[in-house]
Structure formats: C-alpha cells, structure tokens
Amino acid sequence: MNATIKDYLMLHLIVLIWGFTAILGLLISLPAIELVFYRTLIAAVGVAGLFLLKRENLLISLPEMIKVTGVGFVIAMHWILFFWSIRVSTASVCLVGMATISLWTAFVEPLFNRTRIKWYEVGLGLVVISGLLVIFSFESGYWLGLSMALASAFFGAVFSVLNGKLTHRHNPYQITFYEMAGACLFTILFMPVYSSFLAEGGLNFTWVGYDWFWLFVLGGICTVYAFSVSVELMKRLPVFSINLTVNLEPVYGIVLAVLIFGESEKMTPQFYLGTGIILISVLSYPVLNYLNKRRKPVRPLG
C-alpha cells in the first residue's frame, strides 16, 4: 500500500468520523446549547494543549484575534442549530439538510468574493429544492428539524468561506483555537436568552451515564483529531478529491444512524427519494466545477 492510497483511506475515515457527529448528538443527553459549550471548550483546551506540547506560539495580533473569534460565533450558530435539529427530528433528517452545505457555499462565496454565480450552481440549487419539496410533502412532521438543519448548513457555508480567507494568514491550529474559544464564548453569551425564552427547565450541564465519554469523543476525536488530520491531508491530496469525499458525509451519517438506531431512524420511501435527489446534486457539484475549470482557456505567458 503506497502513501497515496493511505491518504485516501484516511480521508474517508475522517469523513466517517464527521458523519458520526450526528450519532453523538443523539447519544449525548445534553441539550444543544450545553452540548456545544462542552464541545468547544474541550476542543479549545485540546488545541491549547497541543501548542504547549510543541512549545509553539499561540498568540496572534489583537485585530486578527477579534476576526477569528468572530468566525467562532458563526461556528457556534452552525453547531447549535445542527444538534437542535437532531433533537426535534432525527439524525437522518438533520443530515439531509446538512447535505446542502456545499451548494449554500456556491451561492455565499460569490457574495463575499464579488464573483459571478455559475449557471450550473443555480441548476443544482433548483434540483436540491425539488428534493426538499419531495421530503416536505411526505414528511411534514419534520419540517422544524429540517428547517434548522438548512439554517445550520447556511451558517456552515458562511464559516467555510470566511475560514478560507483566514487560512492564508495564520496557522490552521491557531485559527482552530480562537474559533473554538469564540464559539464557546458565544454559547456563554447566548445562555441567558436561551434559559429565559427557549429552555423550559433552564440550563442543564449535568452529565448522565456515558455523556462524559461521548463528549470527549466529540471534542477530542471529531473536532481536534479530525481537523488536524484533514489539514495534513490537504497538503497532499487534490482539492477536487477532498471536496468530493467530504460530500459523502451525510451518506455515511445516514447509514450509521440506521445501523445504530434502527427503526427510529427509518423513514418513508419518499424521504429517501428526496434524499437521493439532493445527494446526486451535491455529488455532481465538484464534478461540474472541475469540468468548468478545465474548459477555461489558458492564457499565454508573456
């Protein structure tokens, strides 16, 4: 087995780990806000620990620190809506909504970078909408969870675009620390509003059963470890291959949800029809994007 095959296998393992995040959202008994608070706290402390072990500098300038921490606020909204969606629906419903993140990015990125929206991105967006309409028409009881997942995917797209700009200026691990710290800070600031208007019984930070174990898996393996490995893989694998594989995350997640939770995650045939339409569109995006770039004429040198 050569290094390239190992890299691709590791990439699929990382995507599988990310797909398992939705499963952890059901295994952990904590509500969404408290869960995200613990996840970001564990991740921030974990990254800080890595810097201490490597004896590397963690500090960046104050203006940049404020910017990166602000992106952490976006991450917090992304994760809170993600886990909240799982709570009010199912892991499968949440992952279907999350499958639209790459297509949200296709529309968000031109707004931030002031570039034109590509025709095939609009077409794929319409295909995704048709898939969502199929699901909504037959699974109306999950409209709240799916809506939250779509909003989470939107914030995930905004985060990915903003993060893309930051990675050119800072060490990825520095970015991760301040983003996780920012996300943790956001949950703390949001808690008074949440406990007063959205939580019936107030805040709940109590771990039950194996919550402590699953939280450390979520914060350590699914966040710190998965991110650090993905950064290394980005140095060796083509962007096209990475994007195509990452789009398989909802597929892995839905399969894992059905295998682990059984009947509670099984949906109607119409749900899987709509899901199939969405996934075909999502998996087609990097292929069409790759072909579109190849068609562009090459400018002569000089």
Predicted confidence at residue 143, as pLDDT, reads: 87
* CA 252 – CA 260 distance, rounded (Å): 12
Predicted confidence at residue 302, as pLDDT, reads: 39
* CA 183 – CA 69 distance, rounded (Å): 7
Provide the sign of the torsion angle of the four alpha carbons 152, 89, 184, 213, taken in this order. Answer: negative
* CA 200 – CA 238 distance, rounded (Å): 48
**CB contact at 8 A, 22 and 91:** yes
* CA 56 – CA 72 distance, rounded (Å): 22
How confident is the prediction along the chain (302 residues), in pLDDT tens digits per residue?
Answer: 445 788 888 988 998 999 899 999 999 999 999 999 999 999 999 999 888 887 778 888 899 999 999 999 999 999 999 999 999 988 888 988 888 887 788 788 888 877 777 777 778 878 888 888 888 777 667 889 999 999 999 998 898 888 877 766 777 788 889 999 999 999 999 999 888 888 777 788 999 999 999 999 999 999 888 877 887 777 677 666 676 677 778 888 888 888 888 777 777 788 888 888 888 887 787 777 777 777 655 444 33
Angle at 65 between CA 64 and CA 71, to 5 degrees: 90
* 141 secondary structure, DSSP code: G
Predicted confidence at residue 1, as pLDDT, reads: 43
* CA 171 – CA 42 distance, rounded (Å): 20
